Amino acid sequence: MDAAAMKDEVGRAAAAHVEPGMRLGIGTGSTAEAFIHALASRVSEGLRIVGVPTSERSAKLCAELGIPLATLEELPELDLTIDGADEVDPQLRLVKGGGGALLREKIVAAASARMLVIADGTKKVAHLGAFPLPIEVNGFGFVATTLAIEKASGMLGLSGPIQLRMAGEKPFITDGGHLIIDASFGLIPDPEALSAALHAIPGVVEHGLFLGLASSVLLAGPDGLERLGAP
């Protein structure tokens, strides 16, 4: 089974978890898009839900496929968010933000009673850090913020390239109008300490460590689906 087939499989499995009447957070990324297509199929068959997308990209796809949408202002409390991840560890801690939507993804996940994470089995890791950590930052004071990130991470024994994410020849800009720094720290022994250190830097808007947010994880692999966490 190739990666696309695994994403389709886990997307269909996630769509089966959606119940009538749900207020649903809808994630961003290629695996989330497989879920969106599966959800649209159920909506076309009569499933009634309202979705809150985590990015303009997901909002556009949902609208094209006929999935009813609302804003988080209209639905500030959600029943379930379904989203992908770039890494998942045994404690259900995540690295997210490879698609650049980490701020909205975290806001939506925090507004939800539960978060179901969907991914292919390659995203399961013993320790977070192989995937570069996305850090969303304000454009004002970018150099000062970058230096502060280097200092704070260095005090935790972390090092490695810290690079501004580009989109072609220009900096990548998030839906919120911010920049993203991708920090290749390698192994992150204490994600909670790094989270606190990054949040203490004024120029950091948000980071891609999702701690204590995932309720369960569905992983697709060659031998089928694996579930981590609560049903």
Are β-strands 50-53 and 23-26 bridged in parallel, bridged antiparallel, or unpaired? parallel
- Judge whether 105 counts as a catalytic residue: yes
Phi and psi, residue 10, nearest 5°: -70, -30
| Token pair for 150 | 């280097």
Q: Taking a C-beta distance cutoff of 8 angstroms, is the pair 192, 173 a contact?
A: no
The active-site residue out of 9, 33, 87, 105 is 105
The Cα–Cα gap between 224 and 220 comes to: 6
Tokens 């045994």, located at residue = 90
Structure tokens at 94: 């995540």
Q: Which two tokens stand for residue 93?
A: 């801690």
Amino acid at 129: G
Structure-token pair, residue 15: 């769509």
Euclidean distance between CA atoms 179 and 18, whole angstroms: 33
Active-site amino acid positions: 105
